[in-house]
């Protein structure tokens, strides 16, 4: 990477780990954009051959760069390695099972250019049926909120107060832009300077929750996490996670435990730490039979 960062160039970082044929559509949809960009495809030791097929399909396109890892390093570490070889002044982290919409990148960059207070920008993630994902507007997973949800008291709280959100107009006035605690990790745009300032992804997470951690540290550093509801990307909820449901669920529960210890004031209490640890892993064990059967079913298909 050069010490001179090109202004106006977006580095799109996509991590693949046996992500299936959706990866081809994802990369092709991004490369269809006419604005200055590069795609850094980080391969976490995939064995399905899709990374090689993508590289062959776009062999003549200098905007595509492929980085092969000898092992599956996890999502956050792979993103950090992709960012280290990126050349752009803004970094877009995109899941390998997302389909990009033409013109979206220019719109996202315009939002960041219009408000220097934004350190991380998300958009509306749609499922394959076009329904907005539940995780588009996210809250921190604190012990207090878990208890409130379990007891039903969460419905009594103000939604806007939970989110800590303030609405403001986008520069063109087409739709509101919201400040949130966190957005979907399927698609996140950050100024490169912000990403480097906070030290990138915490590599203590393997898969899941590292996006919540990133959002939290962006806010702790004094920037806003914003959500552009009028911009969309389709997330097909992909291949690598569905192929290994038990492995993914275990990584997610480990991530929740790490996040709790890092950020929740309740972690200061030894008693509450034990209770939360037991609760997290009891939840995992409760789901384990169904997850194991799902993995067996998919393996037989």
Domains in the chain, ordered, with CATH?
10-242 (3.90.550.10), 243-300 (no CATH)
- Which pLDDT belongs to residue 243? 63
Q: What is the DSSP letter of 141?
A: -
- Which pLDDT belongs to residue 293? 61
Q: What is the DSSP letter of 63?
A: T
Enter the tokens of residue 297: 């079913």
Contacts of range 266-271, beta carbons closer than 8 Å, 24 or more positions apart: 266/142, 266/143, 266/144
Contact between 33 and 99 under an 8 Å Cβ cutoff? The reply is no
Contact between 208 and 252 under an 8 Å Cβ cutoff? The reply is yes
CB neighbour list of residue 296: distance below 8 Å, 6 or more residues apart: none
Q: pLDDT by residue (tens digit) across 280-296? A: 767 777 777 775 665 44
Dist. CA 165–CA 65, nearest whole Å: 37
Q: What is the number of alpha carbons within 13 Å of residue 21 lying toward its C-beta?
A: 0
What is the mean pLDDT, run by run of 10 residues, along the chain of 301 residues?
A: 70 96 96 97 96 97 97 96 97 97 96 96 94 90 70 47 39 68 96 98 94 96 96 80 70 85 85 77 72 51 48
End-to-end Cα spacing for the chain: 43
- Which pLDDT belongs to residue 264? 87
- Which pLDDT belongs to residue 149? 60
Q: What's the pTM value of the predicted model, to 2 decimals?
A: 0.85
Using alpha carbons, select from 222, 230, 108, 104 the residue that is nearest to residue 167: 230
Strand runs labelled E in the chain: 10-16, 37-44, 64-69, 90-94, 98-99, 118-126, 167-169, 176-180, 187-191, 224-235
Dist. CA 42–CA 252, nearest whole Å: 21
- Which pLDDT belongs to residue 150? 54
Using alpha carbons, select from 65, 95, 98 the residue that is nearest to residue 82: 65
Dist. CA 12–CA 64, nearest whole Å: 10
Say how far residue 132 (Cα) sits from the centre of its chain: 15
Q: Which residue has the tokens 């939970």?
A: 162
Contact between 88 and 37 under an 8 Å Cβ cutoff? The reply is yes
């Amino acid at each position: 990477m050069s010490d001179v960062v090109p202004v106006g160039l977006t580095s799109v970082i996509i991590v693949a780990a046996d992500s299936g044929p959706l990866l081809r559509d994802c990369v092709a949809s991004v490369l269809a954009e006419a604005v200055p960009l590069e795609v850094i495809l980080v391969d976490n030791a995939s064995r399905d051959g899709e990374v090689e097929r993508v590289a062959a399909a776009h062999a003549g396109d200098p905007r595509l760069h492929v980085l092969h890892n000898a092992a599956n390093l996890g999502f956050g570490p792979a993103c950090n390695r992709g960012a280290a070889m990126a050349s752009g002044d803004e970094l877009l982290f995109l899941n390998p099972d997302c389909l990009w919409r033409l013109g979206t990148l220019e719109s996202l960059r315009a939002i960041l250019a219009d408000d220097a207070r934004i350190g991380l920008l998300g958009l509306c993630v749609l499922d394959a049926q076009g329904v907005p994902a539940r995780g588009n507007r996210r809250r921190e997973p604190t012990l207090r909120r878990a208890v409130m949800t379990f007891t039903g008291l969460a419905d009594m709280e103000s939604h806007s107060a939970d989110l800590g959100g303030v609405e403001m107009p986008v520069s063109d006035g087409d739709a509101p832009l919201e400040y949130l605690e966190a957005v979907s990790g399927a698609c996140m745009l950050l100024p490169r300077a912000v990403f480097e300032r906070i030290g990138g992804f915490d590599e203590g997470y393997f898969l899941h929750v590292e996006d919540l951690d990133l959002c939290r540290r962006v806010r702790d550093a004094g920037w806003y996490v914003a959500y552009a509801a009028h911009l969309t990307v389709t997330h097909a909820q992909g291949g690598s996670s569905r192929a290994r449901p038990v492995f993914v669920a275990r990584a997610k529960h480990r991530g929740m435990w790490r996040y709790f210890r890092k950020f929740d004031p309740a972690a200061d209490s030894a008693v509450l730490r034990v209770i939360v640890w037991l609760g997290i892993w009891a939840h995992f064990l409760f789901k384990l039979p169904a997850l194991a059967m799902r993995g067996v079913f998919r393996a037989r298909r």
